Amino acid sequence: DTTSRSFKLCDLKKNVEHFPLCMKFQYENLEKKHHLKHFSRVQYGLFLKGLGLSLEEALKMWKTEFTKKMSERCFQKEYSYFFKHQYGTVGSKIKYKAQCCDTILEQSVPSGFVHGCPFKHWDASVLSVRLREDDVCDEDVRKILGLKQREQYRAACTTYFQSVCGCKLDDVIDHPVKYYDKSCSSIVD
């Protein structure tokens, strides 16, 4: 519920380390390409909304990035409605919620698209490189790839969490927002 929590755009950069890999990847692609395709805008936009980012700040964030590659007029014409719609202020005014892992996992991710769950949608070799970049130890890399092979993607994500946060989880990750909250609290404990 976005009304009960708040996430400030100025804190985005320092909080990305608490994002699950699926959302870190959206962040990195937006920074790098100054654009995200529709399904990424749905996935990442709703996640940030779920963290408590206001519509005003969301529009500021997307506009800042997108207008590095397009005019402000183009952004306003082609994209601003999408984000207002995502926040339920225009159109059907549906109160969209952040997608849970099962919803993200069910999607198809054609090549060239960056949405989805890395533990399911990435090739094992690509995932393995990324895990090492994120300082996941060899034993956990093997464990994660084994879980991926057995299609236990959320368990693989949980192992990733335990490896990068250095703490145990009692439950299997089932929601990107919960991952974020658990990661934030892991450094407070």
Residues in contact with ligand SF4 by the rule CB under 6 A: 20-22, 101, 104, 117-119, 153-154, 157, 173, 176, 179
Which two structure tokens, joined as six digits, stand for 49?
Answer: 């909304």
Distance of closest approach, residue 26 Cβ to ligand SF4, in angstroms: 10
Q: Considering the complex, what minimum distance in angstroms separates the CB of residue 27 from ligand SF4?
A: 13
Pick 104 or 164: Cβ nearer ligand SF4? 104
Query: How far apart are the C-alpha atoms of 77 and 137, rounded to whole Å?
Result: 47
Instruction: Classify residue 120 by its DSSP letter.
Output: H
- Amino acid letter, 65: E
Q: Measured from the CB atom, is 66 or 143 closer to ligand SF4?
A: 143
Query: From the CB of 66, what's the least distance to ligand SF4, in Å?
Result: 24
* Minimum CB distance to ligand SF4, residue 153 (Å): 5
Q: Which is nearer to ligand SF4, 22 or 58 (CB)?
A: 22
11 vs 117: CA distance, rounded Å: 24
What are residue 21's phi and psi, to 5 degrees? -55, -40
Taking the complex as a whole, the smallest distance from the CB of residue 117 to ligand SF4 amounts, in Å, to: 3
Q: How far, in whole angstroms, is CA 23 from its chain's centroid?
A: 2
* Residue found by looking up tokens 């996430």 in the block: 7
Nearer to ligand SF4 by Cβ, of 58 and 117: the residue is 117
What SS3 state is found at 100? coil
Name every residue whose Cβ is closer than 8 Å to that of residue 5 and which is 6 or more positions away in sequence: 51, 52
Q: Which is nearer to ligand SF4, 79 or 182 (CB)?
A: 182
